[in-house]
Structure 1
Amino acid sequence: MASIFDERKALHMTLQGLLEQRAALRRQYVDQDKQLGLDIKELLARIRELDEREGARQNADVEASAAEEMPTEVLEHLRSRKTHTRHDYAGVAEQVEAILREASAPLTLMDLCSELKKRHGVEFASPYIGIQKALKHLPQVKVDKDGRKLIFSLNR
């Protein structure tokens, strides 16, 4: 029994050591990432400064070559978020009701959102949340689940 306890204690100590090592590596990674970010920021500021002196003719060439060299995950990180759009959920609810009335079969969340976008140009950052807010104005809409998919139909 004592050997099991000693082995368990040894494994626990090994686990603690590995967790501490992992935390140290994460801190090191975060510090290096922050430093690289600052270096990139300084370089971009210097490039802008030079471009202002020389003119904008070379600016397009530098940005194009820099965009080609950057990995896609870095470019995705640099892209800005969508601007927040305020929706008239009562109006969207009327549009949803019209779409569901015209549909011959119940629609999934993605089908409903694609129809809203195609017909009325309404696009939500989060389709689930946007449709749920619109459905507050439509008590006659029935929501079912088919596995993980939400199915919307009108109560008839």
Structure 2
Amino acid sequence: MFNERKALQMTLQALLEQRMVLRRQYVDQDKQLGADIKQILSRIREMDAQEGIEEDEYTQEVATTTEEAPDELTKRMKVRKAHVRHDYLEVAKQINSLLRETMSPMSLVELCDELKRRHAVEFASPYIGVQKSLKYLPQVKVEKDGRKLIFSLPAE
């Protein structure tokens, strides 16, 4: 049993590595083909410009399809938000003022939406960003309502 499991793990690892190699190869080939197509199109445009011929529909169509293809690929890929450094003390003050202003409990989503709308504060990971800010706000009460986190200030 152990030997079979070990063999399956090794096979899985080999397949995953082969998959990564194929992906890299595909991306490299796609980039190369894109560069070749652009070079040929620019040469055709040069020749047409020398002869005084305007671009025909075919070259315009090819140019648009070469420009659209990478967009289609990038739409399928998961895009990570850019890392932004936040002043968590300042964000904590903004959270405190939001909770005081509303005087009602707010969910994580509501809190982050308000921070984004009012102060242009957007976290790559809302939970982590708010937790880092709450280190400066020990008075904020954090509760769970099912799977939601609810933030509130104690009644004064």
User: If the length of structure 1 is used for normalisation, what is the TM-score?
Assistant: 0.71
Matched, 1:30 2:20: yes
Q: 1:88-127: CA deviations, max 9, x gaps? A: 2222112111111122421111111011112222111111
Unmatched runs of 5 consecutive residues or more in structure 1: 1-10
1:52 offset after TM fit, Å?
A: 5.0
Q: Counterpart of 2:123?
A: 124
Query: Shift in Å at residue 25 of structure 1?
Result: 2.7
CA distance in 2, matches of 1:127, 1:105: 20
Q: Which amino acid is the alignment partner of residue 147 of structure 2?
A: R
Note the residue ranges of structure 2 that are not aligned, 5 or more in a row.
Answer: 47-58
Asked if the contact 2:142–2:151 (Cα under 8 Å) also holds between the matched residues in 1, the reply is yes
Count of aligned pairs between the two proteins:
140
Distance 2:94 2:130 in 1: 11
8 Å CA contact 2:141–2:153 kept in 1: the answer is yes
Counting aligned pairs with the same residue, the percent is 46
Distance 1:51 1:141 in 2: 61
Structure 1 residue 60: deviation in Å? 4.4
Q: Deviations over 1:5-47 (max 9, x none)?
A: xxxxxx5554444444333333332222222122112122323
The one-letter code of the counterpart of 2:66 is V
Q: Secondary structure at the match of 1:33?
A: helix
Q: How does the TM-score come out when normalised to structure 2?
A: 0.71
* Amino acid in structure 1 at the alignment position of 2:128: I
Partner of 1:4: none
